[in-house]
Amino acid sequence: MGKSENKLGILGGCFDPVHAGHLMMAEAAADAFGLDKVIFVAANQPPFKNGGAAASARDRLAMVKAAIKGNPRLAVSDVEIKRGGVSYTVDTLDYFRKIYPAAELFLIIGGDNVAGLAGWKSIDSIRKFASFIVIERDWFDVSSTLIRQRIKQKKSIRYLTADGVIRYINRNRLYI
C-alpha cells in the first residue's frame, strides 16, 4: 500500500472467521466517507474476548487475505499479530498515524461496540488519532459465531463469507 492515501479506514477485529458483514461494513464506510483504503487489522488477542480465538492468528490473517483478494480498496495488516500480546486500538492507531502521517484516519466499528467505548484503553487518545465511523449491524444478521456453529452442525456457510474463506476453512479443517 502506498503512503499517498489521504483517508484511511481501520477495521479491527478477531475475524474468526471474517464474514460478509465485515466486508459490507468496509464497503459501506468506504463509499459513505470517500475512503481511499480500508485496512483490516486482525487482532492478536482481543482485550474483550474471553478464551481467545478459535483459529490461529495465521489462519485468521489468511482468511482475511482470501476474503479481500481482488478488491483494491481493501487491505490487511498484521501489525497487531506481529506486536503480540493483547491488541489495543490506541496502539494500532498510533502505528498507522506514524506510518501515514498525512492521512486522515477513520476507525470503523459496529454499532454494538459504541456502548463499551468508555472502557477502551486510552479512549481520549483514540478520539484524537481517528474519527469514528459507526456502522449499525441491524441490517445484516451474520456473525463469526454463527459461521462456526453452522460448520460444527455441518450446515452451509455459503454467502455468509467469501468463497476464498470457505475454501481456506475447508482445506485447513477449521472450526470442526
DSSP code for 161: B
Q: What's the pLDDT at 153?
A: 96
In a domain, 2, yes or no: no
Residue 84: CB atoms within 10 A of its CB come to 10
In a domain, 86, yes or no: yes
In a domain, 51, yes or no: yes
In a domain, 18, yes or no: yes
Structure pTM?
0.89
State how many domains the chain has.
1
Span 35-49, average pLDDT: 91
Three cell numbers written together for 161: 463469507
Q: What's the pLDDT at 13?
A: 94
Concatenating the DSSP letter of every residue in 117-157 gives GGGSTTHHHHHHH-EEEEE--TT----HHHHHHHHHTT---
In a domain, 176, yes or no: no
**Positive or negative, the Cα torsion across 31, 37, 43, 46?**
negative
Domain of residue 131 covers: 7-171
In a domain, 1, yes or no: no
